[in-house]
Amino acid sequence: MISVFLAVYLFIGILLAVFGPAGKRISKEVNSARGTEFSNSIMGRKQPSEFKIRLFRFTLTLSFVVLWIIFIWSIFKEHLAYEKKFRITKKTIDGMYFHLMGGYGTLSCKDCDFRQDITSFTHGSSTSTSGFQCQACGKLTSRRRDEPFQNSHGLNQNYSLAELPPDQKPSRIEHLQTMLQLCERQMKEYKKKDWLPTWESTVAECKDELSKVPADELAAIKKRREDFEAAYKATLFCECGEHLEREQVLFCPNCKSLNLSYELQYIT
């Protein structure tokens, strides 16, 4: 009798861990442990190996399967709160937006026969392509953005500023400036007891690296960035003469309906 009870108990735990809200919570914790290039940079750590990530997932899953009766109520409460928030958000967000789509795909209208392949957002190392729509005539188009500086990430991401090739230094300088501003803003916003342990060291490292860059070089990089942004902004006009928008809700160019669907083909 006990063996049957244990088998049923573990079976329920496995179902909850794989198909239930616990599975989503475990995936969330795993993604948090993996981090992103940006978050790992902020925290001053390397991304864990895939072996460690898989071991972490296995440990979480096994722990939940064994102890699910202790955790299940809190997980369900969190899940219900998330579903409620999602329903409210879904009601608030009426229509389709570029920033909620991503990649390259096909936009179709459900109220007429309109159908067009569009780019929502794709990117490479130093380039990106973003989708836009004219709010006057409804034309859907895209604009390519080629960054003015060669990306210093990738194979050279661990090099110091002095070790980088000259064409990659401006990119690293902008990165250092961004990290410095971000950390200093967070340090002003939060009490010192809530600071991440890497913020002070990151500020010190960024200031040290930037102090070695001549003022005229910093000014030249800033000027080139401003000129680039102004030139790019000047391309954001439709053939009809009106401004192209990316943040507004998408509508059908034919019938103006908001009842659209998007079929993703690929994302980069």
Confidence category of residue 88, pLDDT binned at 50, 70, 90:
very low
Residue 251 has what pLDDT?
A: 93
* 104 within 8 A of 266, measured Cβ to Cβ: yes
Q: Are residues 127 and 244 in the same domain?
A: yes
Q: Are residues 38 and 88 in the same domain?
A: yes
> 88-102, 145-159, 169-183: which has the minimum mean pLDDT?
88-102
Q: What's CA 65's distance to the chain center, in Å?
A: 31
Distance from C-alpha of 127 to C-alpha of 125, rounded to nearest angstrom: 6
Chain segment 101-140, per-residue pLDDT in tens: 888 999 999 999 999 999 999 988 788 999 999 999 999 9
Q: Are residues 74 and 116 in the same domain?
A: no
205 pLDDT exceeds 60? Answer: yes
Domain coverage including residue 217: 154-229
Residue 146 lies in a domain: no
219 pLDDT exceeds 90? Answer: yes
Chain segment 229-248, per-residue pLDDT in tens: 999 999 999 999 999 999 99
The total of structural domains in the chain comes to 3
Residue 89 has what pLDDT?
A: 40
CA 24-29-32 angle, 5° bins: 125
Which of 110, 108, 104 is closest to 131 using CA atoms? Answer: 104
* 113 within 8 A of 253, measured Cβ to Cβ: no
Residue 44 lies in a domain: yes
Residue 148 lies in a domain: no
Chain segment 45-62, per-residue pLDDT in tens: 566 777 777 787 778 777
Task: Report, as an integer, the average pLDDT of 250-263.
Answer: 92
Residue 149 lies in a domain: no
